[in-house]
Amino acid sequence: MNPDVLVAVFLTVITASTPLLLAALGELVTERAGVLNLGVEGMMLMGAVVGFAVTLTTGQWGLGVLAAALAGAGLALVFGVLTLTLVANQVATGLALTIFGIGVSSLIGAGFVGKPLPPLPRLAVPGLSDLPVVGRLLFGQDLLVYLSLVMTGVVAFVLNRTRIGLVLRAVGQSDVSAHAIGYPVIRIRYGAVLFGGVMSGLAGAYLSLAYTPLWVQEMTAGRGWIALAIVVFAAWRPGRALVGAYLFGGITILQLYAQGAGWLPVPSQIFSMLPYLATILVLVIISAGPWRRRLDAPACLGKPFRPAA
Amino acid sequence: MANIITRRGFLAGTAGIGAGLSLGVNGALAQAQGPLGVGFIYVGPVGDHGWSFTHDVGRKHLEQTLGAKVKTTFVENVAEGPDAERVIRQLATSGNGLIFTTSFGFMNPTERVARQFPNLKFEHATGYKSAPNLATYNARFYEGRAVIGTIAGHVSKSGIAGYVGSVPIPEVVMGINAFTLAARKVNPNFTTRVVWVNSWYDPGKEADAAKALLDQRADVLSQHTDSPAPLQQAEARGAFGFGQANDMKAFAPKAQLTAIVDDWADYYVSRAQAALDGSWKTHSVWYGMKEGMVKIAPYGPGVTDAARAAAEQVKADIISGKSHPFMGPIKDNKGVERVPAGKTLTDEELNKMDWYVEGVQA
């Protein structure tokens, strides 16, 4: 394969993987604090539609991205109030959040269907972006791509090397102990849930502003669920989430290129199944007792916390 | 204890009775006098800017044309399967006299509900099961594909078209073949590369497939998926493409050569009018460019004069019946002759098509 095609493949893999990585990082932090938010798909859709709407009406993509993050956080706040303050079931609330997000985003977006928008500008570094092969790969991406990579490092650093990260993990591992020592469990969980909302909102904005600069209903097409799967696949570690997102994105894209070149040895449907198969496999391994502890699933994941009065 | 009626139970009971009554009354009224209730169910969101959107354009046209004589209802985003049957039955019990179910996968649910409501009229798009109160209708999209294939043959410099496919069913295979046959009449070495995304609607994946094809020397794209994403990619790369189901010029002012437009409006009006007159009869129709169910959008700036003339010729010949996109001789992509010279594939053969013509790489 000539280098130009290889570069093209990598460029496409990056665009396919970035929204998965952004959403997965957010959910990873949420889950590390012991909260399972299945509403990623809904929050992504809110980010996508609000980001698109604001960018189109103001002409400022910076505002659009910001608004998308806030929209994701807004929906996450609804989830927080229901599950943390009112102690509703997290799984049911998360599912409802996705359905709610699909509906509200369709409503908000009704007037924006069929409107074109120029794609998010790519940051060009004079000189470097023109380098052969690596130039376009490393120095020609848009802001959100770089943000997703930087955030991987930031999340890993904060979780593993800072006091805040330690407290957040403690809350996820044993909310009762953390509470007994005097940490504000609910407040910390709110923070984690909101962070998840912001990241999902950004993932949505990436879809509607950079990936395919348009708004159509339910344009996330299941990416929120794949992001959830990546978190499990990554065993709640940011570095592995990066690998997982690029693996999932990579498989999807490679099979499309293989089809185009005419040398896909098996029916394309098999490849469409692969990400889900991998997830089921990981889930099975993780649920099998001895692995569970080794993979560090947060012990309080999905369990409601009522502080003793 | 048995005599105590809890408030909750009582409310639920009356609500149920109330709902039942009002449904019954509405249904009776609609059939006795009042406007004709016309129900539609769509597989996608009306905002998909594609397939479901075009059906909804038809529905709106029906309301405008027949005004107070009809009252339309639609349910969007209905999954093909058990949900569909529930929704169709709900439309049947809420006062609709005529119900259009607009996706292939609604066929069996529609048939079952139609059997239970022999007094109501049902119409199913793109299927093959009919009954005295169940008509089927479909459009010969492949005629439009022959026109755009002709344009692709003229416009493509590399002689390679990329085709973003949804799922390999006869309808889609037929389109790929009609496109390729027409393009090869212009350029005998023309090839069509197909990439399946295994979804009708996933803008991101459609865009990825488009990129994969453009990166591999395709310079014209065609698609059988519902979003404008592939066309948008063509615009970004300076390549060409065709709109699907409706005019997508807004997304690709330079790249869109033309679009195959589904126009259900006249059909919906004529069938609702027939139901009002009492002249409605079941039928199984497959309309094309001649009847105006398949239209070609205005040509974009990328269409050369020669391409335009050739496309108009192909269109005129299909409408007049002088030619047919599947006229022999046709070889498949393994070199076997499938249609001898002088023969044309029948509708039945088309609906079972599971092979690719020469020049298709799938």
**B199 and B332 share one domain:** yes
Q: Rg of chain A over CA atoms, in angstroms?
A: 20
- Domain A3-294 belongs to what architecture? Orthogonal Bundle (1.10)
> Does residue B277 form part of some domain?
no
Mean pLDDT, to the nearest integer, of A4-31?
A: 93
Question: Given a cut of 80, is residue A18 above it in pLDDT?
Answer: yes
**B148 and B62 share one domain:** no
Q: Cβ separation of A114 and B250 shorter than 8 Å?
A: yes
**B320 and B220 share one domain:** yes
Q: A238-247, B6-15, B51-60, B78-87: which range is least confident on average?
A: B6-15
CA distance B193 to chain A (A): 6
Q: Cβ separation of B47 and A109 shorter than 8 Å?
A: yes
Residues B13 and A303: their CA atoms lie apart, in Å, by 36
Give the pLDDT confidence score for residue A235 in this predicted structure: 86
Question: Given a cut of 50, is residue B16 above it in pLDDT?
Answer: no
Mean pLDDT, to the nearest integer, of B232-251?
A: 90
Domain endpoint, select from B121, B139, B157? B139
> Does residue B314 form part of some domain?
yes
Q: Cβ separation of B227 and A216 shorter than 8 Å?
A: yes
Q: What is the pTM of this model?
A: 0.83
Q: Cβ separation of A219 and B204 shorter than 8 Å?
A: yes
Q: Which residue has the tokens 């996450």?
A: A76
> Does residue B187 form part of some domain?
yes
**B197 and B311 share one domain:** yes
pLDDT tens digits for range B269-326: 999 999 999 999 999 999 999 999 999 999 999 999 999 999 999 999 999 999 999 9
SS3 B47: helix
For B104, which DSSP code? G
Distances (CA, A) of B40 to B71, B90, B282: 11, 11, 17
**B202 and B240 share one domain:** yes
For B129, which DSSP code? -
Q: Cβ separation of A214 and B204 shorter than 8 Å?
A: no
Give the pLDDT confidence score for residue A291 in this predicted structure: 64
**B214 and B344 share one domain:** yes
> Which residues on A lie below 8 Å from B202 (Cβ)?
221-222
Mean pLDDT score of chain B, rounded to an integer?
88
Domain endpoint, select from B91, B120, B139? B139
> Interface of chain A against chain B, CB under 8 Å?
4-5, 8-9, 11-12, 15-16, 19, 106, 109-110, 113-116, 119, 207, 211-214, 216-219, 221-223, 252-253, 256-257, 259-262, 268-269, 272
> Which residues on B lie below 8 Å from A111 (Cβ)?
none
Question: Given a cut of 70, is residue B138 above it in pLDDT?
Answer: yes
> Which residues on A lie below 8 Å from B212 (Cβ)?
9, 12, 253, 256-257, 259-260
Residues B330 and B360: their CA atoms lie apart, in Å, by 13
Question: Given a cut of 90, is residue B90 above it in pLDDT?
Answer: yes
Domain endpoint, select from B139, B173, B200? B139
> Does residue B271 form part of some domain?
no
A261 or A170, higher pLDDT: A170
Q: Which residue has the tokens 């984690």?
A: A192
Give the pLDDT confidence score for residue B58 in this predicted structure: 96
**B176 and B63 share one domain:** no
Q: Does B63 touch chain A (CB under 8 A)?
A: no
> Does residue B52 form part of some domain?
yes
**B232 and B341 share one domain:** yes
**B217 and B149 share one domain:** yes
Mean pLDDT, to the nearest integer, of A50-57?
A: 96
> Does residue B113 form part of some domain?
yes
In chain B, count H helices and then E strands: 11, 15
Q: What is the CATH number of the domain that holds B18?
A: 3.40.50.2300
Give the confidence band of B24 by pLDDT, cuts at 50, 70, 90. very low
Question: Given a cut of 80, is residue B50 above it in pLDDT?
Answer: no
> Does residue B267 form part of some domain?
no
- Residue B36: in which H helix or E strand, if any? strand B36-41
**B28 and B135 share one domain:** yes
**B319 and B332 share one domain:** yes
Three-state secondary structure readout of chain A: CCHHHHHHHHHHHHHHHHHHHHHHHHHHHHHHCCCCCCCHHHHHHHHHHHHHHHHHHHCCHHHHHHHHHHHHHHHHHHHHHHHHHCCCCHHHHHHHHHHHHHHHHHHHHHHHCCCCCCCCCECCCCCHHHCCCHHHHHHCCEHHHHHHHHHHHHHHHHHHHCHHHHHHHHHHHCHHHHHHHCCCHHHHHHHHHHHHHHHHHHHHHHHHHHHCCCCCCCCCCCHHHHHHHHHHHCCCCHHHHHHHHHHHHHHHHHHHHHHHHCCCCCCHHHHHHHHHHHHHHHHHHHHCHHHHHHCCCCCCCCCCCCCCC
Q: How many domains does chain B have?
A: 2
Residues A48 and A65: their CA atoms lie apart, in Å, by 9
Domain boundaries, chain A: 3-294
> Does residue B313 form part of some domain?
yes
| Structural domain for B344, as ranges | 142-261+295-361
A268 or A52, higher pLDDT: A52
Mean pLDDT, to the nearest integer, of B337-347?
A: 93
Best A107, A117, A208, A217 residue to mutate vs chain B (most B CBs within 10 Å)? A217
**B92 and B237 share one domain:** no
